[in-house]
Amino acid sequence: MNADDETLLAELLEGKHRALARTISKIENRAPGYRELISELYAHTGEAEVIGITGSPGAGKSTLVDKLAETYRERGETVGVIAIDPSSPFTGGAVLGDRIRMASTVGDMDVFVRSMSARGTLGGLSTATADAVKAMDAFGKDKIIIETVGAGQNEIDIVRTADTVAVLVPPGSGDDVQTLKAGILEIADVFVVNKADRPGTDRTVQELREMIELDSGGGFGGSGHHGADAGSDGGGSAVATQDDPEKRATWTTPIVETVATDGTGVDEFIDELAAHREYLVDSGARAEKARQRSAEEIRTLLREDVHTMLEAELERAGGIDDLAAAVAAGETDPYTVADEVLSPVEDCLAELETRNP
């Protein structure tokens, strides 16, 4: 790591927000030396609570995140917010920029808000976002909140990055609640019916409760997000089986009603987030999630590196356009091209195995 990056790292660890902003920019731009910088951050991570906020457009995610950050600050905790925004078709950057609509915490340096581009994958968290979480964690933020785009897309990536995932559902969702059964239920640790002062709230809460009960009974072909195979008290607390107290406790997904515009229900929401974190620690699930997250990060980095290496090999083989033209002309086929491009890589690996059996 060069001298400039060493200085940047030192200033970040000293708690300088300017250094945090520069570090995240370096990560997002994949600037030279960013990998070495992230590697140094790992030794200083692991203390922050990472919360994912997702849900359909119009559910009030940004307003709730604003109130959540404001309430945490009132409790004396520092907050980092990463808002995954739609990508600009021109620059690839975040369209909305730093969230000016988070009005309650403007001017509070202990609430650091950073918008990041979804980079063409709506709702999907890029590797850069996960690395930005590490930067905020190493900086010393107590709570890190990730807000996704939420456009009906697959939000599974957030599970790999967040300790606790809250799924927002607006009242009177109807078809939206039915859609949730297809997969969102599996990633939700807490359901939030926001805008609960609107008509249809009771029905939405009831439909969610029925979904949770059906899931805990194996109705969706599984045991739920946390493997609900034990008894439940019907709330969001961790519950152990009576016949085997030492058996790992399970988590029953709670439903919280909020009105983010005036802060109603936010304290209860925070209580459920705290209860879930306690469950994760006591049950050992937090350590398991960290292990799974590390495994996925390794796979992702390997995929990125292999992809870059193969792109270079494609160029040496004549470039993808010429190879595609040869396939279209019937001179070869995609399988033969792939074998020929991979051959030098496989030869290198075979030679390494021979040297280091």
Q: Tell me whether residue 26 is in a domain.
A: no
- Read off the pLDDT of residues 125-166 as tens digits, 9 standing for 90 and up: 568 888 999 999 999 999 999 998 765 444 667 767 899 999
Same domain flag for 229 and 342? no
Contact 169, 191 (CB under 8 A): yes
In this prediction, residue 344 has a pLDDT band, given cuts at 50, 70 and 90, of confident
Query: Is the residue at 182 inside a domain?
Result: yes
Same domain? For 218 and 308 the reply is: no
- Angstrom distances, CA of residue 200 to CA of 74, 258, 266, 306: 32, 14, 20, 50
Residues 271 and 332 in one domain: no
Report the C-alpha gap between 230 and 20 in whole angstroms: 43
Helix (H, G, I), strand (E, B) or coil at 210: helix
Is the confidence at residue 83, as pLDDT, over 80?
Answer: yes
- φ, ψ of residue 288 to 5 degrees: the values are -65, -40
Q: Is residue 187 part of a domain?
A: yes
Residues 131 and 263 in one domain: yes
Please report the pLDDT score of residue 246 as a whole number: 42
Question: What DSSP character marks residue 117?
Answer: E
Within this chain, do residues 172 and 281 fall inside the same structural domain, yes or no?
A: yes
Domain boundary among 254, 285, 316: 285
Tokens 């996925």 belong to: 296
Instruction: Please check whether residue 243 lies inside any domain of the structure.
Output: yes
* Domain co-membership, 60 together with 182: yes
Tokens 């609430």 -> residue: 111
pLDDT, position 249? 64
Question: What was the pLDDT predicted at 2?
Answer: 92
88 falls within a domain: yes
Same domain, 192 and 318: no
* One domain for residues 338 and 272: no
* Separation CA 272–CA 278 (nearest Å): 10
Q: Which uninterrupted H or E stretch holds 43?
A: none
Same domain, 218 and 75: yes
Cβ–Cβ < 8 Å for 250, 216:
no
Residue 107 has pLDDT above 80, yes or no: no
The number of domains in the chain is 2
Place of tokens 């009005």: 103
In a domain, 130, yes or no: yes
CA 116 – CA 83 distance, rounded (Å): 6
Residue 153 lies in a domain: yes
pLDDT tens digits, residue range 195-240? 999 998 998 899 889 888 877 654 444 434 554 443 344 456 555 4
**Structural domain of residue 338, as residue ranges?**
298-355
Residue 46 contacts by C-beta under 8 Å, 6 or more apart in sequence?
137, 290
In a domain, 291, yes or no: no
The full DSSP string for 61-84 is HHHHHHHHHHHHHHTT--EEEEEE
Of the listed ranges 18-22, 246-250, 340-344, the least confidently predicted one is 246-250
CA neighbor of 184 nearest in space, from 284, 52, 96: 52
Domain end point (choices 256, 285, 314): 285
The last residue of one of the domains, among 231, 257, 285, is 285
pLDDT at 32: 92
Q: What is the CATH number of the domain that holds 149?
A: 3.40.50.300
Of 10, 18, 26, 33, the C-alpha closest to 116 is: 26
| Shared domain check, 305 and 278 | no
Q: Mean pLDDT lowest for which of 89-93, 252-256, 314-318?
A: 89-93
Q: Do both 188 and 323 map to the same domain?
A: no
Same domain, 302 and 329: yes
pLDDT of residue 308: 85
